[in-house]
Structure 1
Amino acid sequence: MYRRNLLAGLVALAAAQVACQQTTTQTLRIAALKGVLPPQVLSAFRAALQTPVSLKVNTQINASVLFHQLQQWQTAAEQSQNQPSFNPFSSSRLATLADWVSLNDYWLVSAIQQELISPLVVETIPQWSDLPKPWQRLLKRDGKGFPSRSGAVWATPYRWGNLVIVYANRSFERLGWQPTQWQDLWKAELAGRISLPNHPRLVLGIVLKSLGYSANDAAPESHQDFENALNTLSEQVKVYASDDYIQPLIQGDTWLAVGWSTDIRPIVAQYRQLKAIVPDPGTLLSADLWVKPRSNDTDKDAISLTELDSSWLSHWWKPETLTLVSLFSQGLSPLLITPEALTETDELSPTNLLLPSAAQLQQSDFLEPLPSESIERYTQLWKRLRGSE
């Protein structure tokens, strides 16, 4: 009797395993930045699906590694076409081709120009029409990667952030004031006490925003007040750093730094002596996007999305995901590009999220690609600024 029951149990267990394997037929491969895919969001995605899915996530430490991975896949695909018997993804050194890759919007133009990604047929996404209109300008590009109203959609957003000012509160208590705007960077008492990003578009963009101009101005040197501000900025800056700028702030070597809200939010939560604000009149924006890697020449046309693809992409801007994305990804839900979408709670407040106000967003810019002559202008201005340190 025991043996018969044991055999029956083993048969039932084997049948359950086979049934589970049969139902879990779909696999979604994701390549993303480390720490930006909250377990809470992934669990909600799995729970919303009608059938189970195997979610395979490969994380990298920075955006440049992910971009290099796109280049590797493209090179492997080209080799495969030249050598029909060559399997481009058989090498253990080359990661399996992902279905979706995380890419910052600043890298989008290069990915399009190098033909690393495919345009998307987004009309099949049921929630596409719910995505706020500002995303249309960012995501619609021509074949050279420049914004175009008639262009194809090359990506979808999953979170975004903005440049903020983070400062040592005690230092400013002694000064008797707190920073509220970009113009404060030029105050005499902050000379030699500021850290700025080591990036020409960001620093020159800050100067432009401080004066009320677009950060995508093709000829910033044509504004006399820009020239004056640039000439005096070097006196204020102690260091240009895009990564290691928090420690000098904590140690008191600097009093104020500029960085991305996605990096600053967890820092401010950890170090109570630091405060952060979104400066007036507007700021620079940055978005993390999902892109589809190209695997062969046939992917030059817009790619139709599977039901699973559509579910994955739209999951990040569903109203029911807004709180999870905004609290746990250190970024903001794509829906919050229109701040009125926010229902405030103690945790979910503009201050805690470092969310720009509606008025600030009207004066804010994503960095758009510039024509070659403008890139040369920015390069020369950057060299002039750094050369006068």
Structure 2
Amino acid sequence: MHVSLVNIDSSSGEYENEEVKAAFESYKSKTYALTVPLRIVALRSSVPPLWIKNFIQSQGRRVKFRLEFRGTLEGIFSELSTTIGKGKVSSKLAGAADIISLGDTWVNFAISKKLIEPIQGVDEQDWFCKLSDKWKVYLRRNDEGKSDTEGKIWAVPYRWGSMVIAYRKNKFRQHNLAPIEVIGAVLKYLGASYNTSNIDSQVTGGRNAVKDELAALQKQVRLFDSANYLKAFNVGDVWVAVGWSSDIVPAAKRMSDVAVIVPKSGASLWADLWAIPAASGIATDELGGRIRGPSPLVHQWIDFCLQSQRAIPFEEEIVAGASPSAFDNTPLPKSKNLSKNKPKLDTNLIAGGVPPPEILTRCEFLEPLSDSASLDHQWLISSMQNPNHGFMHKLQHCILWASNALQIKL
């Protein structure tokens, strides 16, 4: 489109003539077809469908919006590593997107491998000023991905939840078993933190006590798996399933005689976040590769996702998880109208799948392991080894499950 410029006499504050003034006012009132691209690669079922419609309406015709979904966070991370990690950009993969979904425990690795870039200008953004201090402290990282109070903001949460336990109530009644109080990480069971930096000095009984509890727990485990454990639970092969609330709660609603709880001792927390792939500056001849830098609409999208009204789909349980604002503010109980005709679930979770306040205070996000903690975890795994092939095969599943489901870097 060709736009003619007109001279305005700013010294006198008067337009040269009424005709020019009218033309200028008409020019200001027009909407031009200038589009700004915004491509997002998100985790499937993590973005409420209403968000997409409302965001496009809020931006009008200026946004060229493209939202693609992937089945797993591991899949997104794999695409990111394939593109950014190898120094090239493919327009079809997640590495060329403006924004991607990233699991919170992938953040430190993505930063250290330079797969994502820090979000610029956050201190001037309204969404950042409104973000809870708890989130800000957790999100600030240095260039190695480690927690740092003076670090940059590399990712922003848009939903979160906790590790939960689902169990078949009829089996517990049939065998006269007591209600579950604590199942989950052994460190939490022993009264320590998920993020214990030195087991010998911070856990009663040290590494040997943790090893004994691991051995006892292993005898009760039928399956270590992050992909098919809910199928085993659904058909009755196992009585108890431990996993993320985003996986378990929707599945449990489709089953009968199942309860879902957060242990009273607390649990690990998870968060899905928006992050920016570090594609800027990577030379590519492929058309469509994101070599122009992140879209100028990145902040608008983040601000949109963090607005208070975006919590409604979580509270109505259209999408599993909770809004970041629910981390500080106890959600209001669901109205009877919202709960009407929806499957009822026996659970101690409150609206939006959030642990009740008295339990939430005992919950923790999993932080990057210190060097000493990493050595402790390696020792614990090696202490469980046995020459029996069947056990070693099961142990490999254990390590895979621990890495993917608990997101502990061994």
Tell me the TM-score normalised to structure 2 length.
0.74
Counterpart of 2:325 in structure 1 is 335
Counterpart of 1:226 in structure 2 is 210
> In the alignment, is the contact (CA less than 8 A) between 1:159 and 1:287 conserved in 2?
yes
SS at structure 2 position matched to 1:268: helix
SS at structure 1 position matched to 2:96: coil
Counterpart of 2:35 in structure 1 is 25
Counterpart of 1:208 in structure 2 is 187
The residue correspondences of 1:185-334 to structure 2 (distance < 5 A) are: 185=183, 206-222=185-201, 223=203, 224=205, 225-296=209-280, 308-326=297-315, 327-334=317-324
Residues 197-216 of structure 1 show CA distances to partners (whole Å, capped at 9, x for unaligned) of: xxxxxx6xx11112221101
Cα separation, partners in 2 of 1:334 and 1:386, compared to 1, 3 Å: farther
> Which stretch of structure 1 is more off in the superposition, 63-72 or 223-232?
223-232
User: What amino acid does structure 1 have at the position aligned with 2:253?
Assistant: A
Counterpart of 2:75 in structure 1 is 65
Residue 132 of structure 2 is aligned to residue 109 of structure 1: no
Q: In percent, how many aligned pairs have the same letter?
A: 28
SS at structure 2 position matched to 1:328: coil
SS at structure 1 position matched to 2:64: strand
Cα separation, partners in 2 of 1:116 and 1:96, compared to 1, 3 Å: closer
Aligned-partner Cα distance in 2 for 1:353–1:282:
17
Counterpart of 1:53 in structure 2 is 63
> In the alignment, is the contact (CA less than 8 A) between 2:321 and 2:353 conserved in 1?
no
**Aligned pairs, number:** 334
> In the alignment, is the contact (CA less than 8 A) between 1:124 and 1:305 conserved in 2?
no
SS at structure 2 position matched to 1:258: strand
SS at structure 1 position matched to 2:222: strand
Aligned-partner Cα distance in 1 for 2:320–2:306:
15
> In the alignment, is the contact (CA less than 8 A) between 2:38 and 2:64 conserved in 1?
yes
How much has 1:385 moved relative to structure 2?
4.1
Counterpart of 1:43 in structure 2 is 53
Residues 108-150 of structure 1 show CA distances to partners (whole Å, capped at 9, x for unaligned) of: 0111001111111212321222212221122100111011111
Q: Superposition RMSD on alpha carbons, in Å?
A: 2.8
Counterpart of 2:375 in structure 1 is 376
> In the alignment, is the contact (CA less than 8 A) between 2:211 and 2:383 conserved in 1?
no
> In the alignment, is the contact (CA less than 8 A) between 2:37 and 2:295 conserved in 1?
no
User: What amino acid does structure 1 have at the position aligned with 2:100?
Assistant: V
Flag the structure with higher helix content.
1
Cα separation, partners in 2 of 1:176 and 1:94, compared to 1, 3 Å: closer
Structure 2 residue ranges without an equivalent (≥5) = 1-29, 283-291, 340-347, 395-410
Counterpart of 2:3 in structure 1 is none
User: What amino acid does structure 2 have at the position aligned with 1:283?
Assistant: A
Aligned-partner Cα distance in 1 for 2:33–2:160:
35
SS at structure 2 position matched to 1:35: coil
Counterpart of 1:188 in structure 2 is none
SS at structure 1 position matched to 2:271: strand
How much has 1:228 moved relative to structure 2?
4.0
> Which stretch of structure 1 is more off in the superposition, 60-69 or 48-57?
48-57
Cα separation, partners in 2 of 1:304 and 1:129, compared to 1, 3 Å: farther
SS at structure 1 position matched to 2:223: strand
Residues 40-69 of structure 1 show CA distances to partners (whole Å, capped at 9, x for unaligned) of: 121222233355522211221211221122
Aligned-partner Cα distance in 2 for 1:378–1:276:
29
Counterpart of 2:402 in structure 1 is none
How much has 1:70 moved relative to structure 2?
1.8
Cα separation, partners in 2 of 1:350 and 1:257, compared to 1, 3 Å: closer
Cα separation, partners in 2 of 1:385 and 1:160, compared to 1, 3 Å: farther
Structure 1 residue ranges without an equivalent (≥5) = 1-18, 80-87, 186-202
Aligned-partner Cα distance in 1 for 2:245–2:234:
17
The residue correspondences of 1:118-137 to structure 2 (distance < 5 A) are: 118-120=117-119, 121-137=121-137
How much has 1:280 moved relative to structure 2?
1.1
User: What amino acid does structure 2 have at the position aligned with 1:240?
Assistant: F
> In the alignment, is the contact (CA less than 8 A) between 1:181 and 1:210 conserved in 2?
no
How much has 1:218 moved relative to structure 2?
1.6
SS at structure 2 position matched to 1:47: helix
